[in-house]
Structure 1
C-alpha cells in the first residue's frame, strides 16, 4: 500500500491529534493516498504539552487554527448547535469509561455513588466531555442527580454558557482538583487525566469504584459502547474545498486502526512485557470494535450523550445526530 507521500500538486492539510497509539500511522504519514491533498499530523496536547503545543480544543473551536482536529465531543456539539463553521466525521479518537475517573479519599465516608449527594466534587470543567459523561452516568446508572452535588470547577469553559440551574464554584487561582482532594478541601475528584499522585493512591486517594474493571465491564454489557469523548472536526471551508475529504478521513481511520491492531500481535511492540496478553484480554472482554467509526455504530452513544448535554443545561434543546456530520458520511 502507498504511504501517502505528498506530490508537488498535493496540498498539506493540518490535522491536530493527541499522541495516541492509534494515531501513529497519521504521524508517520503511513496512510492511503489522497487526491489533491495529504495530511500533516500535529501532536497538540490538551492538558499536557505535545510536540506542537497545547490547547488543541481551543485552538480549533475558538481560533480555527487547524484544518482538521480531534476536539471535545461536548464542546463541538455545543458549538455546532450555535452555528459554528465546522463539520465532523463520525470518528471518535478518545473514549473513556467514567468509572475509571472518579476518585475519593479514604475515610471521608464515601463508599458508593449515593454518598456523593451533598458533597463537594472537583471537576476540570462543566462541559469537559468526561465531566458530562460522569454526571450523566451517576444520574442514569446510580440515581445521583448532578443538582444534588456541589461542583467546584478548575478552568474556563471552551464554549461559554450560562443557566441559573447550574451553580459552579471556581477553584482559587492556580489550584488543581487533585490537590484539593489531597488537602481535604473537596470530597471527590473527577478528571479525564488524573495526575500520578491520584493514580498511585497517595494520601489515601482511591477510586470510587473499587473494582473498576468489573464496573466497566458491566457498563459495556449494558450500553454496548465505549463512550466517545472526542470527535474529528473539520473547518467548513476546508470541507467545501475538498469534497472527498470527509470520506477519506473515514478510510484513513480504518486503515490506521488495522495497522495499530496488527502491531499488537508482536510481543515486543510495547515496553510492557505482557502487553500482548493485555491486548488479548481486552479483545476478549470488549471485542474488536471499541474504536469503530461510522454513524450507525455510534448513533445510540451520540443520542444519549446529547440527552446528557440537555439535562445538564449545556444545550437548550436536542440537536439531531445527523446535523453534527458532513452530509457525505451520513450513511457510514
Structure 2
C-alpha cells in the first residue's frame, strides 16, 4: 500500500462491517480507513462508549453514533457532519418486553404502567415511544417512564417527569423482579430473551408485527448514523462521497457471503437469509438521502413530540453538502 494517512472509523463488530475491518475496500486518494471495533455494551476489541467518545470527546475521525444523540448535538452546533449511512437499524416490536403479572396483552394495556428504558434519548427508546403513539394510539405521556442511565447529550424540560432507577439496578432486573411492568431496550440481556420469570415480548407474533410495519412504512428504522469530525472533512473533502461508495461495496460483499451455507454458525443460515430477502428485499441498509428521507422525517417528528428538540431540524443540515444528492 502506498503511503497514506490513517483515518479512524469506530464501528460495532457486525457482519456488514467486516470489509471495513478486513481493509477490503475501494482505494482512496490520500487516506485509508483504520477500522476500530468499539462497542457500547458490551465493549469491543477497542473498548466501549463509542457514542460518548465521539460526540463528547471527538476521539475518532468517523464513528457510528446514535441517530437521536447526533441530531441533538448537531442542532446545538456540534463540530460534526454526517453521511446518510445508517449502520444499525431495529424494529421496535422486537424490543418491548412485559412482565408475566403485569396484565399487559396489547399495546393499549401499557397506559398507566411503569416502563423501564435505558435512556429517554436512546434511539430505540425514541422509536418505540413514537411507534406506540403513532401506530397503536398509546401516548408516551400516559406511561410512567423509569430511566436507567445518563443521556449522551444533556437536555432538560420541565414537562418531562422521568424517574431514575435506583443505583446498581437495570431495567432488565427491575422487570424480572416485578418492579416495573415493561422494559424496552436495544439489546435485551439473555434472561429477557429466554423468557425467565415469565417475561415475554409484548406481541405474540413479533416477526409478523415487524413485517407488517415494514410493508406499511417501507423502511427498516435507522438507529445509528456515520458521523465525521468537521476537521477531518476539511482535510479530506472527498471523504463523505468515498464513504458512501465504500459502504455500498461492503454491503454487496456481505450479501454475497451469505450465499455460502458455511458462512454462519447456523446450519440453515442461508435458508434464513433467503427468507429474509423474500420478506424484506436486499436494500435494508441502503445509503443515501433519497432512500432514507421519509424515515428521517418521521424520526425527527418523534424527537420534537418527545420534547428532545424544540423544533424540527432541516434534514439537509445533518449531512455534508457533497452527498445531499446521493
TM class, shorter-length: over 0.9
| 2:125 corresponds to 1:131 | yes
Q: How far does residue 165 in structure 1 lie from its aligned partner after superposition?
A: 1.4
| 2:138 corresponds to 1:144 | yes
Q: How far does residue 107 in structure 1 lie from its aligned partner after superposition?
A: 2.8
Per-residue CA deviations over 1:277-320 (Å, capped at 9, x if unaligned) read 00000000001110000000000000000000000000010001
2-side partners of 1:180 and 1:226: how far apart?
29
Counterpart mapping for 1:62-77 below 5 A: 62-77=56-71
| 2:78 corresponds to 1:84 | yes
Q: 2:274 aligns with which of 253, 276, 280?
A: 280
Q: 1:232 aligns with which of 222, 226, 235?
A: 226
Give 5+ residue unaligned stretches, structure 2: none
2-side partners of 1:47 and 1:165: how far apart?
30
Per-residue CA deviations over 1:191-246 (Å, capped at 9, x if unaligned) read 00000000010110000011001100110011000000000000000011100000
- Aligned residue for 2:10, secondary structure, equals strand
| 2:89 corresponds to 1:95 | yes
Residue 2 of structure 2 corresponds to 7
TM-score normalised by the chain length of structure 2: 0.99
- Aligned residue for 2:13, secondary structure, equals coil
1-side partners of 2:228 and 2:248: how far apart?
18
Per-residue CA deviations over 1:25-64 (Å, capped at 9, x if unaligned) read 0000000000000000000001211000000000000000
2-side partners of 1:259 and 1:248: how far apart?
17
Q: 1:38 aligns with which of 32, 46, 54?
A: 32
Q: 2:242 aligns with which of 238, 248, 260?
A: 248
1-side partners of 2:15 and 2:5: how far apart?
26
| 2:191 corresponds to 1:197 | yes
2-side partners of 1:77 and 1:319: how far apart?
8
Residue 3 of structure 1 corresponds to none
- Aligned residue for 1:178, secondary structure, equals helix
CA RMSD in angstroms comes to 0.5
- Aligned residue for 1:189, secondary structure, equals strand
Residue 312 of structure 1 corresponds to 306
2-side partners of 1:80 and 1:240: how far apart?
17
Q: 2:254 aligns with which of 257, 260, 264?
A: 260
2-side partners of 1:234 and 1:212: how far apart?
35
Q: How far does residue 7 in structure 1 lie from its aligned partner after superposition?
A: 2.0
Residue 287 of structure 2 corresponds to 293
2-side partners of 1:215 and 1:62: how far apart?
36
Q: Which runs of 4+ in 1 moved over 4 A?
A: none
Aligned residues: 326
1-side partners of 2:115 and 2:321: how far apart?
40
1-side partners of 2:23 and 2:317: how far apart?
31
1-side partners of 2:115 and 2:133: how far apart?
15
Residue 175 of structure 1 corresponds to 169
Q: How far does residue 84 in structure 1 lie from its aligned partner after superposition?
A: 0.3
1-side partners of 2:102 and 2:91: how far apart?
24
Q: 2:43 aligns with which of 41, 45, 49?
A: 49
